Amino acid sequence: MQSSVSIQNLKLDYGTVSVLRDLNLEIGQGEFLVLLGSSGCGKSTLLNCIAGLLEPSDGSIYINGQNVTWAEPSRRGIGMVFQSYALYPQMTVEGNLSFGLKNIRMPKEEIRRRVARAADVLQIEPLLKRKPAALSGGQRQRVAIGRALVRDVDVFLFDEPLSNLDAKLRADLRVEIKRLHQKLRNTMIYVTHDQVEAMTLADRIAIMKGGVVMQLGSPNEIYNRPANKYVADFIGSPSMNFFETTLSRGAEPKVVLAGRDVPLATYGFVRKDFAGAVWFGIRPEHILTGEAAASAPVRFEVCAELVEPMGSEILVWSTLADTSIRFRLDGQEKVATGDMLRIGFDPARASIFDKAEELRV
Amino acid sequence: MADTVIRTQHASHAHAAGPRPRPIFSRRNIIIYGVLIVLALYYLLPIYVMVVTSLKGMPEIRVGNIFAPPVEITFAPWVKAWSSVCTGLNCDGLSRGFLNSLKITVPSVFFSIAVASVNGYALSMWRFKGANVLFTILIIGAFIPYQVMIYPIVVLLREIGLYGELSGLVLVHTVFGMPILTLLFRNYFSSVPEELFKAARVDGAGFRTIYFKIMLPMALPIFVVAVILQTTAIWNDFLFGAIYTRPENYPMTVQLNNIVNSVTGVKEYNVNMAATLLSGIVPLSIYLISGKLFVRGIAAGAVKG
């Protein structure tokens, strides 16, 4: 896959605070990459650097093989969509769409053709003569996407484009962005703090923390085989249950949980010879209950301490091995606080991290 | 008796629906409107005295009661104040000063706002190196008393050959308007979402295009505020007008002072009052015309700034 955007040894410091530290990232042609992280992790900063709105302290950025580190934003072949839409309030939708094209003195005929095409793709033709104030949030964001679309750019940058919308609209527009990507096949870089958006949209996700990429991989990889405890904890809602224990390697590798041996013969080890203090993590949705628990390789009995019914499922809080844990029950189950429940899990689905560096074992 | 009162209250509560009825003559209303009316009268009284006095002839004024309405209305004092009263050396009334004030105010307002709005835009949007230092220096400028700078400016204007000229005074007003206006515009532009500026840059707009096509149309309310602030300040200025101009270039305020404070001859109160009202017409009408816009602009700047 030819790389569309390439970031090499990128650094950005504000005084003594370093926001991006020696960051390297290769984004393929037509790839949908999501930068995911909690606020302050540097994901928006990185996007602004790619767009040319922030100057990096060191390192270089290539777009389509060209070094654009010092290029103006408009000359990088990028289009950007912002969280607050950032539509020019005194211009009509048509004016907003054609502003960038007028700035490069494109012939009027060509401008009209491109605006018409973008309006058709995004289905905003009836809105062309309106001002942004007369549009709903979803319509505004569509116009903002259109503004990137008319410029016929290679790379789309999205800076939390759906965060200002209500839940339902967000889901609708999410699908629309995905559809747009399938139709246009442009490279898209998308910043969000919403893991559902990241999981559903991305070809690959880069999870960032403190200006460093913690893991870069497909949504599947990130969910099932998190590279470190931070990623494991960050992805998934409710988040993963972690137990402090010790990994020992006798005849076969095992950990001890609540006085019981958990054999790890089926676990896919990354470091085949590691032994010592570890975090043993298992996702709430991978804890089996009822019938399934009876046939699980590892079984426990726990007391339901807190029950949160959510309609489609029930979230149960409990304690195992002196650690608070969460797991899910089907929404139709009858469970009350104080009930004893049988749970179990398959150790192959667990994630184990060493305690010192919190990296996957 | 008390019993019935309670019962009727209960009854009315039981049927309560829609907005709660509010009595017009409640204690609260009486206090609020009472205070407002008294204050309004207090501020309007001098204007009333000026208007009635300017419409009286001198014999009537000598009779004494300044609050009495004119028995015989005459516009002669207004005509005299405008066209023939002596203001120092010239005896062609306030008309000359009115023209001078226009020639001073219009370019001063235009240039000071033009420069300050670009200043404010550059300071808030293009965070160039040293922007904060420049801004701090500019703001300190706002706190230095004018008296300190009077003499150096006299020398400066003399050296560049503008002392006594209208253009020299325009320059002084433009420079002195800079700190407060820059602050005003900087705060306004700081309230414009940064993403708008970023979007424009991605769209290939430069310093000028962003200013004229995006920021300027958005900043109309603050321009109105700036025009009002500058027009009234410059029109009402006396100090600079008296120091940096020659008699034939005196602005209206300086002429007015010369009329009112002349010590020779009879004190013509009616002419003085008419002259004062005449020189106050411009700022007054600006407030009346743009009152609503002014409040809106100030509020926009205050809430978001």
- First-to-last C-alpha distance (Å) of chain B: 58
pLDDT value at position A220? 93
pLDDT tens digits, one per residue of B256-275: 888 888 767 778 888 888 99
pLDDT of residue B58 exceeding 60, the answer is yes
pLDDT value at position A335? 85
pLDDT of residue A158 exceeding 50, the answer is yes
Q: Which residue has the tokens 């007054």?
A: B284
Return d(Cα B91, Cα B83) in angstroms, integer: 8
Q: Do B203 and A99 touch (CB under 8 A)?
A: yes
pLDDT of residue B3 exceeding 80, the answer is no
Proportion of chain A above pLDDT 90, given as a percent: 31
Mean pLDDT of A2-25: 86
Q: Do B193 and A84 touch (CB under 8 A)?
A: yes
Q: Which residues of B touch A144 (CB under 8 A)?
A: 199
A53 touches chain B (CB under 8 A): yes
- Whether A21 and A11 have beta carbons less than 8 Å apart is answered as yes
Which secondary-structure segment (H or E) carries A150?
Answer: helix A137-150
- Whether A274 and A294 have beta carbons less than 8 Å apart is answered as no
The pLDDT confidence band at residue A210, using thresholds 50, 70 and 90, is confident
Q: How far is A210 from chain B (nearest CA, A)?
A: 23
B227 touches chain A (CB under 8 A): no
* DSSP 8-state secondary structure symbol assigned to residue A184: H
Q: Do B203 and A51 touch (CB under 8 A)?
A: no
Return d(Cα B221, Cα B217) in angstroms, integer: 9
- Whether A131 and A92 have beta carbons less than 8 Å apart is answered as yes
- Whether B93 and B240 have beta carbons less than 8 Å apart is answered as no
Structural Rg of chain B based on CA atoms: 27
**With a CB-CB cutoff of 8 Å, which residues 77-96 of chain A face chain B?**
78-80, 82-84, 86-90
CA A212 to mean position of chain CA atoms:
15
B196 touches chain A (CB under 8 A): yes
A328 touches chain B (CB under 8 A): no
Residue of chain A whose Cα is closest to the Cα of B219 = A90
Q: How far is A73 from chain B (nearest CA, A)?
A: 5
- Whether A7 and A67 have beta carbons less than 8 Å apart is answered as no
pLDDT of residue A218 exceeding 80, the answer is yes
Let me know the angle formed at the C-alpha of A258 by A252 and A263, rounded to the nearest 5 degrees: 15
pLDDT of residue B125 exceeding 50, the answer is yes
Q: Do A82 and B199 touch (CB under 8 A)?
A: yes
The pLDDT confidence band at residue B185, using thresholds 50, 70 and 90, is very high
- Whether A59 and A7 have beta carbons less than 8 Å apart is answered as yes
pLDDT of residue B303 exceeding 70, the answer is no
pLDDT value at position B283? 86
Mutate one of B202, B215, B220 to test the A interface: name it (highest A CB count within 10 A).
B202
Nearest residue, CB atoms, B199 vs list A48, A75, A86: A86
Domain chopping of chain B, boundaries: 21-74, 94-304
How is residue A323 written in tokens?
Answer: 């650690």
To 10 degrees, the CA torsion angle through B74, B76, B82, B83? 160
CA A290 to mean position of chain CA atoms:
33
pLDDT tens digits, one per residue of A46-57: 999 999 998 888
More confidently predicted of B35 and A312? B35
Nearest residue, CB atoms, B198 vs list A82, A90, A103: A82
pLDDT tens digits, one per residue of A243-271: 989 888 877 888 888 888 888 888 888 88
Mean pLDDT taken over chain A? 89
Mutate one of A90, A97, A160 to test the B interface: name it (highest B CB count within 10 A).
A90
B198 touches chain A (CB under 8 A): yes
The pLDDT confidence band at residue B302, using thresholds 50, 70 and 90, is very low
Return d(Cα B126, Cα B211) in angstroms, integer: 11
Q: Which of B124, B135, B288 is nearest to B219 (CA)?
A: B124
Q: Do B198 and A151 touch (CB under 8 A)?
A: no
Q: Which residues of B touch A84 (CB under 8 A)?
A: 193, 195-196
Q: Phi first, then psi: what are they for A61, rounded to 5°?
A: -125, 130
Task: Return the number of CB contacts < 8 Å for A and B.
Answer: 64
How is residue A167 written in tokens?
Answer: 């839940």
Nearest residue, CB atoms, A86 vs list B198, B209, B213: B198
Return d(Cα A153, Cα A151) in angstroms, integer: 5
Q: Do B209 and A103 touch (CB under 8 A)?
A: yes
Q: Which residues of B touch A82 (CB under 8 A)?
A: 195, 198-199
More confidently predicted of B93 and B6? B93
pLDDT value at position B32? 93
Could you please report the per-residue DSSP string of chain B? -HHHHHHHHHHHHHT--SSPP--TT-HHHHHHHHHHHHHHHHHHHHHHHHHHHHTS-HHHHHH--TTSPPSS---HHHHHHHHT--BTTB-STHHHHHHHHHHHHHHHHHHHHHHHHHHHHHHHHS--TTHHHHHHHHHHHHHS-HHHHHHHHHHHHHHTT-TBSHHHHHHHHHHHHHHHHHHHHHHHHHTS-HHHHHHHHHTT--HHHIIIIIIHHHTHHHHHHHHHHHHHHHHH--HHHHHHB-GGG--HHHHHHHHHT--SS---HHHHHHHHHHHHHHHHHHHHHHHHHHHHHHHHHHHH-
CATH topology of domain A234-354: OB fold (Dihydrolipoamide Acetyltransferase, E2P) (2.40.50)
- Whether A301 and A319 have beta carbons less than 8 Å apart is answered as no
Return d(Cα A322, Cα A338) in angstroms, integer: 17
pLDDT value at position A234? 92
The pLDDT confidence band at residue A205, using thresholds 50, 70 and 90, is very high
Could you please report the per-residue DSSP string of B8-73? HHHHHHHT--SSPP--TT-HHHHHHHHHHHHHHHHHHHHHHHHHHHHTS-HHHHHH--TTSPPSS-
How is residue B19 written in tokens?
Answer: 């907005």
**With a CB-CB cutoff of 8 Å, which residues 7-46 of chain B face chain A?**
none
- What is A3-233's CATH number, 3.40.50.720, 3.10.129.10, 3.90.1150.10, 3.40.50.300? 3.40.50.300
Q: Which of B216, B191, B200, B210 is nearest to B114 (CA)?
A: B216
How is residue A93 written in tokens?
Answer: 């939708």
pLDDT of residue B135 exceeding 80, the answer is yes
Return d(Cα A117, Cα B297) in angstroms, integer: 39
Nearest residue, CB atoms, A73 vs list B201, B209, B213: B201
pLDDT of residue A274 exceeding 80, the answer is yes
Helix (H, G, I), strand (E, B) or coil at A5: strand
Domain chopping of chain A, boundaries: 3-233, 234-354
How is residue A208 written in tokens?
Answer: 């960032």
Mean pLDDT taken over chain B? 85
pLDDT tens digits, one per residue of A320-348: 888 899 998 888 888 888 888 888 888 88
Q: Which of B227, B225, B222 is nearest to B186 (CA)?
A: B222
Mean pLDDT of B225-254: 89
Superfamily of segment(s) B94-304? MetI-like (1.10.3720.10)
The pLDDT confidence band at residue A98, using thresholds 50, 70 and 90, is very high
Mean pLDDT of B15-33: 85
pLDDT value at position A1? 52
